[in-house]
Structure 1
Amino acid sequence: MVATPGDAPALLALQESGSQVDIVCAQPGTPDERAAFDRAVADCAARGVRVAGEPWVIDAEPGKITALVLDALRELRPLRVATLDPDPEHTSIDREANRPVVTEPPLRGSVARATVAAARTYQRECGSPVFVRCHRAGADPRLGARGAARHPLPLRWLVRGVDGRLSAYLPSAAGVLRWTERRAGGDEWSGPELLEGPDLLPGLEVVQDAQGYVHLFGLRRRKRADGKDYVDVVHTTQYQSGRPIGPWHPVGNPHGNDRAKGREAGFPAAAFDAKGNLHVFVRNIGHSISTRRQAPDGRWSGWQHLRGATVADELVALTAASGTPEVWARTRDAAAAIRWHRETPSGDWALDTTAGVSPAPGTLSAAPEAGTVRYRYSGSNEVCVQVPGAGAVSLGGPEGTGAVAAAAGVGIQGWGCTVLVRSGESGACCVGAHADGRPESGVWWFDAGEASVVPPAVAVDGLGRAVLALLGDDGVLRLARQEQGASGLAFTPWVRVGSET
C-alpha cells in the first residue's frame, strides 16, 4: 500500500524470492514514477518475485483513504501488508520554531496511517490474522526488510509462564495475538486470541521478569483532547498463562507532550535488573537513546538522555552478569554496535564504543547468557556471539537473514545445551545447538523443514523439551517438540496448532 507507484520500488526491493505481491496506490503518479515502477517489477521478476499485474490505483483523496484501502483489503484478502512509515523521519530542525521539518510528500504518511487503520478494521471484520510491516522510506535496500523496519517483530515471542505452560505472542494489525498451551507440555492449545488493549502500531517487545511474569511493550497512537494524534510507549503484564492480561499502562515518550518530536520515537526495548527495576530504552528524535526506570514499587523515574553516539532503530536491552542493566544499539552511520552500561545498579550510565561488534542490520539479539549478544557479522553474514571478556565467537550459518533466537538449559544426551533458531534461505527455519556457555565448541546447523513469515522462536516447555515455533504463510502457528531420548537433537514433525479466534 503506497501513495504512488514511485513509492513501490522501496518495498519491492525487500521482497524475497517466491513472494507474490499486489500493489495498491492512492494516486496514479507521474510518468517518471511509472517508469521507476516498471524497472522495479522487472528486477522482481529476475529475483523470482511475482508482481500481480498493474498497480491498483484507488484514486483516494484526503479524508477518504482509509475507506478505500479497506475496500482493497476486502478484495485482496492478504495475510501480510507492507507500507511505508506512518511517522516519517525529519530532515532538519526549524530552530526558530523548534520543530522538526519533514520533507516527505504528505500523502506518503497519510497512506501509511490509513493502511494501519484499515488493516486493523479488516482483521476485526474477518477474524483472521493480518500482519502489517512499515518500512522507512528511502532506506538503503541493503539494510534488508528487518534493518529498514519501523516497528520490529519480537524475537523471543514463545515463552514459558509461571505455571509451566507455553504462550506465543505476535503483533498483528488489530493488536497482540496470543496462543496458549492448555496444559504444560501438552499438544492442545487455545488461540489465536486477540488480547484487549489500545490500538497499537505493528510491533512488539516481549520481556520476562525474575518471577516468570511476561511483560509486553508497544507503541500506540491515540487522539488526545486537542484532537491531535500522539505516540507513546505502553506496557502490560501477563501474570497467569491464558488469563486476561493486566491493563495497558502508559510509559510515556521521551519528548513529553511535544507531538511533532514524539511521533518519531523509536520502538522500545526493555530489561529487568537483578533488583527488579524495569528499564525502558527508546531511540529519540536526535537518534540517541532515552531511558527511564520503574522501581519494584511501581514508581517511575524521569527520562534520562544517554549521550555520546547516534543510533539506528535497533536496540537490545539485557542484564549483565553483575545484575546491572545495559543496552546495545547498532550505530546509525557505521557497521558497528555500542553499549551503555552501569557498573552498579544506581551508578551513572557509561558508553562503551570498543565492543568490537560489527552487526549486519536487523541482526542484533540478546543471548540467554547474561551480558551476551548475538549478531550476524557484517562482513560475512555468519552468526556470531559476543562473550563478555572473551570477544566474538563464530557460530557459522552464513545463509539466510535476521537475528538468532535461543533457549539454554536443553538436555541433549545428558548435556545441558543452548538451542538456536534462525531464518535460513527463503525463510526456512534452521536449528543448531552448542553446549551451554561453550559456543566455541561449534554449531552444526540443519534445516527444520518449514518456512516462517516471522523470525522463528524457541523455548523450553514444562517437561524440559526444546520447542520450535513459526508462523506459516497461511497465518497458522506451527510447533515442533524435541524428541527426548533421540540420538542427538531431533524434533517431532511440525504440528499446526490453534483454531479458536
Structure 2
Amino acid sequence: MTRKADRSAPRSTGPVSDRRAQLVAVVVPEPQDAVVLVEREGAGARIAVVCLRAGAKDGRAALERALGAAEGRGCQLHGGISVLDAGDATAALRKVLRSLAPERLSTLDPDPVHTGLDEVSGALSYGVPAAHAEAAAVALDAARAQQAETGRPLHVECLRAERAAGAGVTPRHPAPVNWLSAGFDGRLTAFWPTAAGIVRWYEEVPGGDWHGPELVEGPALAPGLLVIRDPHGLPHLLALRRTARDDGGVDVDVVHAAQYRTGRPLTPWLLLGGPNAAAWQKGREVGFPAAAFDAAGELCVFVRNFGHSVSHRRRTADGTWTPWQHLSGLRVADELVAVTGAHGGVELFALARDTAAVLRWYPGPDGAWTEDRTLPFAARPGSLAPAAEPGALLFRDARTGRACHWRPGTPAPVPLAEPDPGTGPLATAPGVQLGGWGYSLLLGRGTDGGPALGVHPTGRPDTGTWWQETRTPTPGDPSPGVPAAAVGRSGRLSVAARLPGGRLLMADRDEYAEYTEHGAAITLGAWRVVGG
C-alpha cells in the first residue's frame, strides 16, 4: 500500500541555483565511444563531449544522433564536439576542463575486465579497445589536476561500456550510499569521492556552521567510496588506490581509513592490497570492496577477484589482518553488499555475474561460509544496499524496478511502495522515533530531484511504508548519488543532499513526530546550503 504525504516547501536560506556548475564533460577516445555515455544522461544535464581523436565518419554521425536524442529528452548541449588531437593529451584536456569548469566528468573504465585468457601465454583479451583504458587514465589525471588547481570538487564517473547481457552501462566505482555520519559529540560529517580524492564536510558545533569541503589527505584514490560504521558508530572508509608502475602498468589496491574524532585527521590509509596483487595485469581488475563489522568489532572486507568469485580479508578485534582468502561459489558481478546479521556475524549479498539472481553467504554452525543460491527474488544492477534492520537487504525488483526489502528467513521480499519507482539504491537511517516507537527511514530521490523520505516501523516493512517528497529550494538540480541521513546520539535527525559546486543541502527534523491522514510523517525544518 502506498502512503504518501505532500509537504509544503520549506523556506530557503538564499538562492542556490548554479546552472553552469551542472555541466558534465564526457571524455572518450573517439566520438563513437561517447554514444553510450550520452544515452545515460537524464533531463536537465548540460553535456560537453571531448574526444582525444576525431574518429571515423560513421562514429561522428552516431554521436550526433545520440546528442539529438539527448536534446529531445531535455538535455542541453554545450558547444560542439571538441577533438584534442594533441601530443600531450593530458595537458590539452586540462586546458579544456579549465574552460568548461564541469561539475561532473564521465569517462570509461580505466581497468577493464578481461573476457579471455590464453592458458599457454597468459595473455589477456578484453571486450573493449585498449583506447578505453588509455582515455580514462588521461581523464583521471586531468580531472585530478583540475581540482587541485581550482579547489572545486569534481565528481568523476568511470563507466563500463561492454553492454553485456542487457546489463547496459555500469559504474566501475560506486558512489557512496550512507555517506553522512554522526560522531560521539553530536557533530555530523559528510564524505564524498572526487577526482582528487575524498572530500569531507563537518559541523563546527552540532546544528551550527559547517567546515568544508576539505580534501582528505591520502593516496591517489579511484573515484568511489564505501562508508560503514563500526559498533561504536564511528565511520570507516574503504576505497581503491590506483598507482602507476615503473614498467608502465598500474597497481590497484584496496585501502582503509577511519575517523575517530569529528574534524580531526583520519587514520593513515592502510594498504590491504588485493587477492591477485602478485600479477598487476590481474590485480588491476579487483572489484570495489564491500565490508561490515560483526558484533565483536571484527571487520570483514570482500572483493570480486580476477576469476569473478569472491575473496575476503578479516581484521580481528586486536587489529591483526588475515590474508586474502577465497570464498567458493558462483561467479559474481561487481556488486557486493556486506551486512551485520541478526546473529551478530557478517553476511554477504552479491549480484550474480550472468543473471539478475542475488547470492548470499553466511557463517554456518561450524563458522565456515555457506552459500545460498535460493533467494526468492532477482534484482536490478546497481540497486543493492543494506537495510536498516540487521541482516536485511534493500534492492529494486529486476522486472518492475520497485524498491523491496528482504530479510533472511522470510518467504518473499516486501515491496516498499514508492509512489514513483526510482533508480539506484536507497539509503537508510535506523533509530528514528515517532510517537515513542522506533522507525526505519528510507531515502531516495523524488520526481523533482529532491529527497524522498519513507518510514516504516522498525523490522516491519510489511505493515506499510509512508512516503513523502520534500521540496527543496533547488528543484530539478541534478546531483550524483542518493540523499543521506543520520541520527545523532541526542536523537537529532538530519538529511543531506549534494549540490553542485562542493555544497550540501541540509535540513534537520523540525518536529519530534507528526501523523497525518496518510500515516506517519517526518517534518523537516528549513533547508540550508552549507560548504562550498
Aligned equivalent of 2:339: 318
Aligned match of 2:255 in 214, 234, 241?
A: 234
Within 5 Å, give how 1:59-458 maps onto structure 2. Answer: 59-61=85-87, 64-102=88-126, 104-139=128-163, 143=167, 148-184=170-206, 186-224=207-245, 226=247, 228-344=249-365, 347-390=367-410, 391-397=412-418, 398-425=420-447, 427-450=449-472, 452-458=479-485
Give CA deviations for 1:326-383 in whole Å, capped at 9, x if unaligned. Answer: 1101112212211111125x71111101111311111110012110001111121111
Once the two structures are superposed, residues 154-187 of structure 1 have per-residue CA deviations (whole angstroms, 9 ceiling, x without a partner) of 1010011232221100001111111111223x13
Higher relative contact order (CA 8 A, sep 6+): 2
Whole-angstrom distance in 2 between the partners of 1:144 and 1:446: 31
Partners in 2 of 1:16 and 1:318 — Cα distance? 32
Q: Give the aligned partner of residue 9 of structure 2.
A: none
1:494 aligns with 2:494: no
Q: Does 1:57 align with 2:83?
A: yes
TM-score, structure 2 length as denominator?
Answer: 0.89
User: Greater CA deviation, 388-397 or 315-324?
Assistant: 388-397
Partner of 1:17: 43
Q: Aligned partners of 1:372, 1:117: CA distance in 2, in Å?
A: 39
- Report SS of the residue matched to 1:66: helix
Unaligned ranges ≥5, structure 2? 1-26, 516-521
SS at match of 1:354: coil
How much does 1:426 deviate?
Answer: 5.6
Deviations 1:57-80 (A, max 9, x none): 01134xx22111111110100010
Q: Determine the structure 1 residue equivalent to 2:4.
A: none
Give the Cα–Cα distance (whole angstroms) in 2 for the partners of residues 15 and 402 of structure 1.
14
Equivalent residues, number: 493
Q: Is the 8 Å Cα contact of residues 153 and 501 (structure 2) preserved in structure 1?
A: no
SS at match of 1:44: helix
More displaced 10-residue stretch of structure 1: 259-268 or 39-48: 39-48
Counterpart amino acid of residue 61 in structure 2: A
| 1:297-325 CA distance string (max 9 Å, x none) | 22221211222212111110111111111
Task: Evaluate the alpha carbon distance shift between residue 45 and residue 498 of structure 1 in structure 2; reply closer, same or farther with a 3 A threshold.
Answer: closer
Helix, strand or coil at the partner of 1:231 = strand
- Contact 2:403-2:421 at 8 Å conserved across structures: no
Read off the aligned partner of 2:133 and give its amino acid letter: G
3-state SS, counterpart of residue 122 of structure 1 = helix
Cα separation, 1, equivalents of 2:358 and 2:377: 5
Taking the aligned partners of 2:306 and 2:323, their CA distance within structure 1 comes to 17
Which secondary structure state, in structure 2, belongs to the residue aligned with residue 425 of structure 1? Answer: coil
By how many angstroms is 1:54 displaced? 2.2
Aligned partners of 2:274, 2:524: CA distance in 1, in Å?
A: 43
Aligned-residue offset at 1:425: 3.2
Report if aligned partners of 2:165, 2:354 keep a CA contact under 8 Å in 1.
no
Bigger mean CA offset, 242-251 vs 399-408? 399-408
In 1, Cα distance between equivalents of 2:320 and 2:126 = 36
Q: Is the 2:183–2:488 Cα contact (8 Å) retained in structure 1?
A: no
Between stretches 458-467 and 318-327, larger displacement belongs to: 458-467
Give the conservation status (yes or no) of the 8 Å contact 1:154–1:204. Answer: yes
One-letter identity of the residue aligned with 1:29: G
Percent identity of equivalent pairs: 43
* Distance in 2, Cα, partners of 1:135 & 1:244: 31
Deviation at 1:225, TM superposition (A): 5.7
Give me the CA root mean square deviation: 1.8
Aligned residues of 2:174 and 2:225 also touching (Cα < 8 A):
yes
2:470 partner SS: strand
Q: Output one character per residue of 1:208-232: Cα deviation in whole Å (capped at 9) or x when no partner.
A: 1112322111101113465642111
Q: Given the superposition, is the C-alpha separation of residues 204 and 446 from structure 1 closer, same or farther in structure 2, using an over 3 Å criterion? A: same
Match of 1:28 in 2: 54
Cα deviations across residues 18-37 of structure 1 (Å, max 9, x unaligned)? 11100000000001111211
**Secondary structure of 2:319's aligned partner:** coil
CA distance in 2, matches of 1:47, 1:225: 46
Does the Cα contact within 8 Å between 1:422 and 1:431 map onto a contact in 2? Answer: yes
Instruction: Work out whether 1:482 is the aligned partner of 2:509.
Output: yes
CA contact (8 A) 1:99 1:260 kept: no
